[in-house]
Amino acid sequence: AMRPMSVGGAPPTMGGGRPADIRRPEEAVGGEPVDAEESMTPPEPAKKPENPPKFFTYEVDEQGFCTISLSRKPVNSFSLEFFEEFNEWMSWMGDNDEMKAVILTSSIPGVFSAGLDINELHNPKEDRFGFFWSSFQHFFVILNAFPKPLICAINGNSPAGGCIMAIGCDYRIMVDTDSSAEKRPYRIGLNETKLGIPAPRWVMKRYAEVVGHRNAERMLQLGETPTAVDALKLGLVDEVCSADEIKAKAILAAKKYASIESNARYMTRRIMREECLAIIGDEEGQRYDIEATGSIISHPDVQKSLTTYLERLSKGRSKK
Which residue among the candidates 16, 161, 189, 294 is catalytic per the annotation? Answer: 161
Determine whether 161 is an active site residue. Answer: yes
Catalytic residue among 104, 116, 121, 236: 116
The C-alpha torsion from 77 through 80 and 81 to 82, rounded to 10°, is 40
- For the question of residue 116 being annotated catalytic, the response is yes
Q: Is the peptide bond before 25 cis (omega within 30 degrees of 0)?
A: no
Rounded to whole angstroms, the Cα distance separating 105 from 113 reads 9
Residue type, 141: V
The burial of 130, by beta-carbon neighbours within 10 Å (0-12 exposed, 13-18 middle, 19 or more buried), is given as buried
Question: Of 85, 120, 192, 274, which residue is the catalytic one?
Answer: 192
Strands 56-60 and 77-78: unpaired
Question: Choosing from 191, 274, 277, 285, which is the catalytic residue?
Answer: 191
User: Is 191 a residue of the active site?
Assistant: yes
Report the candidate in 313, 21, 278 with the shortest Cα–Cα distance to residue 147. 21
The H-or-E segment that residue 158 falls in is: strand 156-159
Residues 6+ apart with CB under 8 A from 245: none
Determine if residue 189 is left, alpha or beta; phi over 0 gives left, psi from -120 to 50 gives alpha, anything else beta.
left
Q: Which residues are catalytic?
A: 116, 161, 191-192
